[in-house]
Structure 1
Amino acid sequence: MHLYDNLIAESLELAENTGFRELPAGGHALWEAEAEQRLIFQKDMAYELGGGGLPAVSALAFTSLPAKADRLLLCGPDLPRLKADSPYARLTILHVDGGDWQDDQQAYRLLRQMEYTRYHVYPRGFMMRISTSAGREPVRVSREALKNGLDFTQAGRLFLEAYHRHPQVRAVTLLFVTAPDFPYGLLAEKAVRMEAVTNSLDQIWNNLAMDCRSCQLKPVCDEVEGLRELHFSREKGKAPTQAHQGL
């Protein structure tokens, strides 16, 4: 799985240029995870990440590049230091076993299971208000949770544990961003392109797009190395060449 690698590198470069710090990713999550999303009303809210007209970017990418361990990264102030609504972004990079992606049906199932996890982790006092159609992920943070010690380390570890319930996930890189000077617009563009790659895989694995002349996703295949070959190998009923196995 290398289809997202260029987008991953470009996204992490944005974080490097802004400046980030490593949060402790090891150990078990000590913060409580709710069984389902619980509402945080405005009267109980300390602030909202990505609230109002502020950026609220969410991005997910997959790669077979090796990673020694999980990483939690933060650009900007941590939750306890924020005093008002802030711009926000969350970038998730899943390092997966490349061999698990060579069978179409298995690959499609794994992709959807991991996407489901992305939106179904509920740290107490951290209410995600996700709009997949708008590509936004604002988060309400409760005053009580902050008082009890909620920060990105606690919330992040819950996400890490949830992703590791999938045995194909070898490591996770999770980036949170609250820096006011971060280029959220550029990351949002890359998030759209990541989603376009995922949608292309969806169509290819389900045999929904086989005519390049009429396919709306042709620009994605033109741009992403390996995607076009995967497309044609599916059309001809052949396995991908050795160079592109484990995309």
Structure 2
Amino acid sequence: MRSLNELILKKDSKFELGGSYKPAVNYQCVTTLESFVKKDEILLYGKDLSEISTDVSFARLAFLQINNLEDDDTAYKAIKELEFIKYNMNLDGYMMRASTMDKREQVRIAKTAINSSISFEKVLFL
């Protein structure tokens, strides 16, 4: 189920990915070279959300291959559109907080979401 821009307060959260000053990074790497991104896939390293009970480190790395674009301005606009899509997801009990300056991305998971069997699969395939 989706909600629009849900705010999850600390007292309502079960844990944070990247919380308690643990490392939390976000990188989006874009290339026009097909050899860098050989196939579409999503890989999860570590525990799924239902297996986490306390704040943990978190990293989201995205490697995207795009067509060769005409100029730098067109490429910039295309990359910004991809970023908008990533941050435009809304899932009950899942709140993303990001700092582009620090390349830091934290995720707050609500207690109610854990009770509703939230998983990275549900997050990724809305």
Q: What's the secondary structure of 1:155's corresponding residue?
A: helix
Query: Which residue of the partner structure matches residue 97 of structure 1?
Result: 67
Q: What's the secondary structure of 1:94's corresponding residue?
A: strand
Per-residue CA deviations over 1:161-203 (Å, capped at 9, x if unaligned) read xxxxxxxxxxxxxxxxxxxxxxxxxxxxxxxxxxxxxxxxxxx
Q: What's the secondary structure of 2:53's corresponding residue?
A: coil
Query: Which structure has more helix as a fraction of its residues?
Result: 1
| Conserved 8 A contact 1:63-1:95 | yes
Query: Which residue of the partner structure matches residue 48 of structure 2?
Result: 78
The structure number with the bigger radius of gyration is 1
Deviation of 1:104 (Å): 3.9
Identity of aligned residues (%): 35
State how far apart, in whole Å, the 2-side matches of 1:104 and 1:49 are. Answer: 34
Query: Which residue of the partner structure matches residue 85 of structure 2?
Result: 117
Structure 2 counterpart of 1:84, one-letter code: T
Q: TM-score, normalised by structure 2?
A: 0.85
| Conserved 8 A contact 1:124-1:145 | yes
Query: Which residue of the partner structure matches residue 53 of structure 1?
Result: 21
- The aligned runs of 1:128-207 (5 Å cut-off) are 128-158=96-126
Structure 2 counterpart of 1:47, one-letter code: F
Structure 2 counterpart of 1:144, one-letter code: T
Deviation of 1:95 (Å): 2.3
Q: 1:108 to 1:136 in 2, by over 3 A?
A: closer
Q: What's the secondary structure of 1:97's corresponding residue?
A: coil
Query: Which residue of the partner structure matches residue 58 of structure 2?
Result: 88
Query: Which structure has more strand as a fraction of its residues?
Result: 2
Q: What's the secondary structure of 1:138's corresponding residue?
A: strand
Per chain length, whose mean CA-contact separation is higher, i.e. which structure has more relative contact order (CA < 8 Å, sep 6+)? 2
For structure 2, the residue ranges without an aligned partner over 5 or more in a row are none
Q: 1:104 to 1:59 in 2, by over 3 A?
A: closer
Deviation of 1:96 (Å): 1.8
Per-residue CA deviations over 1:107-132 (Å, capped at 9, x if unaligned) read 23212212222322222211111111
Report how many residues are paired.
123
Q: TM-score, normalised by structure 1?
A: 0.46
State how far apart, in whole Å, the 2-side matches of 1:67 and 1:157 are. Answer: 21
